[in-house]
Amino acid sequence: MTPAAIFFDLDDTLLDDTGAKRAYLPQLFAAWRERLHCDEATFDDAWRTALDLHFERYLRGELSFVEQRRERMRDVFRARLSDDECDALTREFLRVYEANWRLFDDVIPALDALAHLPLGVITNGLDSQQRQKLELLGVATRFRAIVTSDASKLSKPDPRIFHHAAAAIGVRPEECVHVGDDWRKDIEGATAAGFRAIWLERGQWRTSAGSVTRIASLRELGGLIT
């Protein structure tokens, strides 16, 4: 059955966020080296740990989006930084991060192949930033609905954010497909919401997907969506 709508995760599904990290972390370390008092490997580990920890706290409603950014900087620098100091460091980070935003090379061919269907994005993150990513990458107008955790006050894997997205396009959850790279947030969340989930696992497959359709590239979607 042809779906009524197809939704995509954003980071590491459309935008190469992992690749952006590989590029911006050495740049940040070079800029902040004298203040960090650690080697590059330690900085990389501290950054990734703090990012995951405090972003999850934001998604649980324990911190605002700005607060999670500040706590990340305090962890990384191991210092009692003021809010203004954290915000200044965040602005430095954002300049480097945004300069490294790139689409995966399979995104445009996939969107072209599926252009006859309503498309949407379901993403955890700050509404303004997630929309900015899509706009700067030139694909924002491809999507009929862009649903963020910030604007909806819901976050993946909560099935309600998927229901909210389906309603935004005017279709039923069971008529929708969701494509994402995160098993818990995208696959379990979408499945619980009644969507058909497609797991995008780039590179070597390491785990079983069970009955869930698994793809290594978005180029495979055209052949799966009938």
Spatial CA neighbour of 191 closest among 211, 219, 207: 211
Residue 112 has pLDDT above 80, yes or no: yes
Q: Do domains 5-15+102-224 and 18-99 have the same CATH topology?
A: no
CA 145/CA 165 separation, integer angstroms: 7
Question: Which residues share a beta bridge with 119?
Answer: 6
CA distances in angstroms from 219 to 24, 104, 173, 196, 216, listed in the order given: 27, 11, 24, 18, 9
Question: At the topology level of CATH, where does 5-15+102-224 sit?
Answer: Rossmann fold (3.40.50)
The structural domains of the chain, with segments of one domain joined by +, span: 5-15+102-224, 18-99
Check residues 38 and 203 and name the one with the higher pLDDT: 38
CATH number corresponding to 18-99: 1.10.150
Residue 220 has pLDDT above 80, yes or no: yes
CA 146/CA 164 separation, integer angstroms: 11
Contact partners, residue 155, CB within 8 Å, separation at least 6 = 59, 124, 149, 161
Provide the pLDDT confidence category of residue 48 given band limits of 50, 70 and 90: very high
> Model pTM?
0.91
The pLDDT, as a whole number, for residue 208 is 62
Provide the pLDDT confidence category of residue 159 given band limits of 50, 70 and 90: very high
In the block, which residue shows the tokens 């650690």? 38
Q: Taking a C-beta distance cutoff of 8 angstroms, is the pair 164, 190 a contact?
A: no
Mean of the per-residue pLDDT values of the chain = 94
Task: State mean pLDDT over 185-204.
Answer: 93
Share of the chain above pLDDT 90, in %: 91
Spatial CA neighbour of 9 closest among 115, 113, 161, 205: 161
Residue 226 has pLDDT above 70, yes or no: no
Q: Taking a C-beta distance cutoff of 8 angstroms, is the pair 7, 13 a contact?
A: no
The pLDDT, as a whole number, for residue 37 is 84
